[in-house]
Structures are given as C-alpha cells and as structure tokens.
C-alpha cells in the first residue's frame, strides 16, 4: 500500500510503499478514504514525542481517519465489512497511523459509524480536533450565559470549539489576527462571536468586553499566564498545551485537556455535522502523494483543517 512514512525522527515525511496491516483480535481494518494533518503529527515528525511513547519504524503518522471496514479481527462486534466509519487511531505506540491506504484500529475506542450527511472528507478531519474541543469545553462546566475566551480559534480545535461553545449559549471571545483570519472565525457560526487580535494588547481588548473577567478560558495558543489573569474568581481554565497553574489571588478550576475519542463522543460530533449544527473547518485538501506538502502547509499556519484524501 502507499503510505506516508518517517524513517526516523526528527525526520521528513515521505510517501513510500508499506505493508498492509493485519487486524489483530479486537481490531478493525479500515480502507482509508480520508485523513488530516494535526499538530500531533508535526510533533511526531519533529521528534518531540521521543521518550514519551514507543516509536516503531518506518513510522506511519496520522491520527484521523474515515473510510470503510475492510476486515474485522477476532472478537469484534458492532462492525462488519463495508461499514462506513471514522475516528481516531488510539494505539499505545506510534507507527501504524492513518496516513495510508489502510489502517488497523482498536474496535473498543476511537471508531464510530459515519452517518449519512457527513462527507468522508469532513469525517476524516473531525475526530481528533472535534474530540479535543468537545472534551476541553466539558472541563469548563456549564456554558450557557457565560463568557468564554477561546485562544487559538483559527486552528482545527479552536474553530470547532467556537461553534460548540456558541451553540451551548456561551458568549464567545475568540483570538485571531485581524483580516482574513478574523473573518474565518466570524463566519464559523451565525451566533455573535467577538474576535480580538492577538497581535494587539489582549488584556486591554478582553477587559473592554468583560471588565470583571471572563468566566472560562480554553487555551489552545498564546500566553497562558496572561489569559489566566483575565479569568474571574471561581472561573475555569482548560489548556491543550500544558497544565495550568493555580492562581494565588483567586479560586480557579484548572485542567489539561486529555482527549478521549469514545464512540459516544464521535457519534455526537458526527450527528452535529449531519444536522448542519457543526461545520468541519476544512480549508485545504491534499491527496496522499502530496502529504509532505500538507505538513509544510500546516507548519506555515494554514487556518482550519488540512484534509488528506486517499485514493
């Protein structure tokens, strides 16, 4: 099969031939139709995860996938050959990812049926970012009527979080550069979203909107200390990048986002997409043979999600 591979890390992704994986007991073999690039993949290629998780070479990156079930391993229930599925690769090691024509994934977690009305391209870009946004917002508590600051709103996680938070009745403040990036965020939802320019004085801009501080912060980019200082007493801070520190001058609920792509979460997200309540923010597409270009585009700061289509 054709696959994106890394011969070593740090290393540059290449498209090479690789062996088709065989589904083990409890696994499903998926014929991949779509995947996407995430920050996790660039971190893997850069070698940032060495010593944290096992690497098996040649290493195939990729967490997101969408496609059809090609085969099922012993003991698998709920999936049959030909089923349309999507999800997140959840294996305990890196090496057999989804940027390939086939991927074998556990059936117990990280996979769900793709409903009608969800494009395979969108499903292939939904799993990891959608789960991170969904679980991150859950850490902030009830959102209706509360002011939520989402930093890094132009990325895949942020763009989905803006939509989910607005749909739950939050007053959303989102960070993005003025111009096209600000326009991208504003167009994500019909609900009113206040976009502030992170290249300007973030504190002054937020205080002008919420003088007493925001109720919650979803930290996906930017200065966590500055954002934490903008959170009111009794508020909440959840970060995808680090463990937020407790505040010395007020009570804060803090947590680091640990995405858990359960079938329920994936199905809920896909249901929102199918109903039109959630848009997967795919802004560019590359076929598998051009995947190294997709990595470069992500590193250059492309907004939204970058999809990889697999023939």
Specify whether the CB–CB gap between 34 and 125 falls below 8 A. yes
Per-residue model confidence as pLDDT tens digits over 127-156: 999 999 999 999 999 999 999 999 999 999
Per-residue model confidence as pLDDT tens digits over 218-270: 999 999 999 999 999 999 999 999 888 877 778 999 999 999 999 999 999 99
Give the pLDDT score at 243.
85
Tokens (6 digits) for 279? 């848009």
- In the predicted model, what is the mean pLDDT of residues 295-307? 94
Q: How far apart are CA 14 and CA 258, in angstroms?
A: 30
Angle at 218 between CA 259 and CA 301, to 5 degrees: 85
Q: β-pairing, 147-151 with 171-175?
A: parallel
What is the sign, positive or negative, of the torsion defined by CA atoms of 111, 307, 119, 169? positive
Give the pLDDT score at 60.
98
- In the predicted model, what is the mean pLDDT of residues 106-111? 97
Cβ-based neighbour number of residue 6 at 10 Å: 24
The runs of H, that is alpha helices, within 115-172 are 120-123, 127-138, 156-167
Per-residue model confidence as pLDDT tens digits over 52-107: 999 999 999 999 999 999 999 999 999 999 999 999 999 999 999 999 999 999 99
Specify whether the CB–CB gap between 274 and 117 falls below 8 A. yes
Give the pLDDT score at 250.
80
Beta strand ranges found along 8-154 (DSSP E): 14-17, 27-37, 54-60, 64-72, 84-88, 93-96, 102-106, 111-113, 147-151
Cβ-based neighbour number of residue 245 at 10 Å: 12
Phi first, then psi: give them for residue 154, nearest 5 degrees: -90, -10
Per-residue model confidence as pLDDT tens digits over 200-213: 999 999 999 999 99
Q: How far apart are CA 196 and CA 198, in angstroms?
A: 6
Give the pLDDT score at 106.
98
Give the pLDDT score at 63.
98
Per-residue model confidence as pLDDT tens digits over 18-47: 999 999 999 999 999 999 999 999 999 999
Of 86, 113, 123, 89, residue with least CA distance to 280: 123
Give the pLDDT score at 301.
86
**By three-state DSSP, how is residue 158 classified?**
helix
Does the pLDDT value for residue 300 go beyond 80? yes
Give the pLDDT score at 247.
73
Give the pLDDT score at 311.
81
Q: What is the CA radius of gyration of the chain?
A: 19
- In the predicted model, what is the mean pLDDT of residues 170-186? 97
């Amino acid at each position: 099969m054709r696959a994106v591979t890394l011969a070593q890390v740090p290393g540059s992704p290449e498209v090479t031939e690789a062996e088709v994986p065989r589904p083990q007991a409890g696994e499903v073999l998926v014929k991949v139709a779509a995947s996407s690039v995430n920050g996790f993949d660039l971190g893997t290629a850069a070698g940032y995860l060495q010593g944290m998780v096992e690497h098996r070479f040649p290493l195939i990156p990729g967490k997101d996938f969408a496609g059809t079930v090609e085969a099922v391993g012993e003991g698998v229930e709920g999936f049959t050959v030909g089923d349309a599925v999507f999800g997140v690769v959840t294996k305990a090691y890196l090496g057999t990812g989804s940027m390939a024509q086939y991927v074998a994934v556990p059936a117990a977690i990280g996979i769900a049926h793709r409903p009608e009305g969800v494009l395979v391209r969108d499903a292939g870009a939904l799993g990891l970012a959608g789960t991170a946004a969904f679980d991150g917002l859950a850490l902030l508590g009830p959102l209706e009527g509360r002011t939520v600051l989402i930093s890094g709103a132009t990325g895949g996680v942020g763009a989905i979080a803006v939509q989910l938070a607005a749909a739950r009745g939050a007053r959303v403040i989102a960070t993005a550069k003025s111009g096209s990036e600000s326009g991208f965020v504003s167009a994500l939802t019909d609900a009113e979203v206040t976009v502030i320019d992170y290249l300007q004085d973030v504190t002054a801009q937020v205080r002008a909107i919420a003088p007493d501080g925001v109720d919650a912060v979803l930290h996906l980019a930017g200065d966590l200390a500055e954002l934490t200082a903008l959170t009111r007493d009794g508020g909440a801070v959840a970060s995808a990048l680090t463990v937020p520190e407790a505040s010395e001058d007020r009570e804060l609920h803090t947590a680091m986002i640990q995405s858990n792509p359960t079938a329920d979460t994936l199905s809920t997200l896909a249901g929102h997409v199918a109903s039109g309540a959630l848009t997967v923010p795919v802004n560019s597409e590359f076929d598998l043979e051009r995947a190294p270009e997709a990595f470069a585009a992500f590193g250059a700061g492309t907004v939204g999600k970058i999809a990889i289509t697999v023939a």
